[in-house]
């Protein structure tokens, strides 16, 4: 694939490389075209700059080798596609033995795979997270996605983006600042080039202001990473059309309205966790940020079956982050991870 060879050379460097244009054309031009006459036209205009800064080889030294792995994926057409618990593309019999081994090697070059599972031409990517469990918890609790334009903020590998499309969304845009996960997404997308599902290398804060263009916006597993959670909620609101639906999933703690936990340093070994509110506090934050019709549709404690080390993510995982003598606590002594899924609507 010439496009991907070029892609390797073009991403960032000087950020003035004229061949960057080629990258937009192959990976994002279709998205830009289809958004340019819609309410999301300001996003279409922002895409070239987002790609230049988000896929910058000066800032991300491993990116060239990930792009090599993307480029080396075998040419193939999947005989089957299933956007189900395991997002499945093709069967082992669609590839030769040599192609299968090439595919396996190229997928493994992007390890760790955290969000999935996927099955790609018979290679099962057993990700750290059973992300399908989260989807099962919310699937029946949200407004059906049929014909909706959907944003998934902090989408990781894009697993849930594929599930959103599978559930009838007209268009799905994920945004994800980690280039490794963006490249993982492209490893899947290259076998579904016409799917109206895209992932941009970007943060929510980089979105054009007051887009007001999405019917549903998801923010799952992001709020607790934000130092300013209220700003995050206000930015989420601005992505939505009036009355549009927010699906917010985040870590919580037990407690009354007004209470939230701010870890002294790490929480479950993560050093970028800022606020874990109670459900009542989170509801207040949502009200103050311009949402109504606010409800908690699921509360679950994360299990070591849902988040665990696998062949595709061989680092430490949840069981290593809990107190070995009391699994109701993290190793720092805080309440063990418990998550809420909130659904709310933009007021106006
Ligand atoms: C815990 S993961 C959650 C992934 C997925 N949404 C899920 O629920 O399984 C959080 C993701 O959010 C991304 N992220 C962190 N800060 C972000 C921001 N400001 N805007 C968008 N994404 C962000 C991270 O790179 C990471 O991939």
Distance (Å, rounded) from C-alpha 74 to C-alpha 95? Answer: 8
| Residue ranges lining ligand 1, Cβ < 6 Å | 115, 129, 131, 134, 153-156, 175-178, 181, 203-205, 220-222, 225
Beta strands in the chain (DSSP E): 81-83, 87-89, 115-116, 118-120, 123-125, 129-130, 149-153, 171-175, 197-200, 214-220, 240-252, 260-261, 276-277, 291-301, 322-323, 326-330, 338-346
Distance (Å, rounded) from C-alpha 332 to C-alpha 235? Answer: 31
**247 CA → ligand 1 middle, Å:** 14
Q: Look up residue 27 and give its DSSP letter.
A: I
**Choice from 53, 113, 131, 154 to test ligand 1 binding pocket (greatest atom count within 8 A of CB):** 154
Distance (Å, rounded) from C-alpha 158 to C-alpha 199? Answer: 7
Q: Which residues of 32-60 are buried (b: 16+ CB within 10 A; e: fewer)?
A: beebeeeebebbbebbbebbbebbbbeeb
**60 CA → ligand 1 middle, Å:** 17
Domains and their CATH numbers in the chain: 129-346 (3.40.50.150)
**176 CA → ligand 1 middle, Å:** 6
Whether the Cβ atoms of residue 40 and residue 211 lie closer than 8 Å to each other: yes
- The per-residue pLDDT for range 252-270, each reduced to its tens digit, is 999 999 999 999 999 999 9
**What residue's CA is closest to ligand 1, atom 22?**
154
pLDDT in tens, the chain (348 residues): 444 444 444 444 334 344 345 556 678 999 999 999 999 999 999 999 999 889 888 888 999 899 999 999 999 999 999 999 999 999 999 999 999 999 999 999 999 999 999 999 999 999 999 999 999 999 999 999 999 999 999 999 999 999 999 999 999 999 999 999 999 999 999 999 999 999 999 999 999 999 999 999 999 999 999 999 999 999 999 999 999 999 999 999 999 999 999 999 999 999 999 999 999 999 999 999 999 999 999 999 999 999 999 999 999 999 999 999 999 999 999 999 999 999 999 998
Distance (Å, rounded) from C-alpha 100 to C-alpha 94? Answer: 9
* CA 308 to the chain's CA centroid: 18
Let me know how long the chain is. 348
Task: Give bridge partners of residue 219 from the DSSP assignment.
Answer: 153, 248
Q: Look up residue 28 and give its DSSP letter.
A: I
């Amino acid at each position: 694939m010439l496009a991907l060879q070029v892609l390797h050379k073009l991403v960032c460097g000087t950020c003035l490389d004229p061949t960057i244009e080629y990258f937009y054309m192959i990976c994002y031009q279709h998205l830009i075209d289809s958004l340019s006459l819609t309410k999301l036209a300001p996003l279409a205009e922002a895409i070239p700059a987002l790609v230049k800064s988000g896929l910058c080889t000066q800032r991300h030294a491993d990116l060239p080798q990930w792009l090599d792995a993307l480029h080396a994926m075998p040419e193939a057409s999947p005989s089957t596609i299933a956007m189900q618990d395991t997002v499945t593309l093709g069967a082992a019999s669609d590839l030769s033995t040599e192609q299968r081994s090439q595919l396996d090697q190229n997928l493994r070059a992007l390890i760790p795979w955290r969000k999935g599972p996927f099955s790609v031409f018979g290679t099962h990517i057993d990700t750290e997270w059973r992300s399908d469990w989260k989807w099962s918890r919310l699937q029946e609790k949200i407004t059906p996605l049929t014909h909706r334009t959907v944003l998934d903020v902090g989408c990781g590998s894009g697993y849930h983006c594929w599930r959103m499309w599978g559930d009838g969304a007209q268009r799905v845009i994920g945004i994800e600042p980690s280039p490794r996960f963006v490249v993982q997404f492209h490893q899947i997308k290259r076998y579904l080039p016409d799917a109206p599902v895209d992932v941009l290398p970007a943060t929510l804060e980089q979105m054009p202001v007051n887009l007001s263009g999405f019917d549903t916006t998801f923010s799952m597993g992001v709020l607790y990473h934000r130092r300013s959670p209220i700003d995050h909620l206000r930015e989420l609101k601005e992505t939505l059309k009036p009355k549009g639906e927010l699906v917010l999933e985040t870590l919580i703690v037990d407690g009354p309205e007004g209470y939230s936990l701010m870890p002294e340093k790490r929480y479950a070994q993560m050093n970028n966790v800022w606020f874990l509110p109670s459900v009542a506090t989170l509801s207040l934050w949502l009200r103050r940020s311009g949402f109504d019709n606010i409800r908690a549709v699921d509360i679950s404690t994360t299990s070591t079956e849902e988040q665990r080390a696998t062949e595709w993510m061989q680092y430490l995982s949840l069981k290593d982050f809990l107190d070995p003598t009391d699994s109701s606590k993290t190793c720092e002594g805080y309440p063990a991870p418990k998550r809420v899924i909130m659904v709310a609507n933009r007021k106006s």
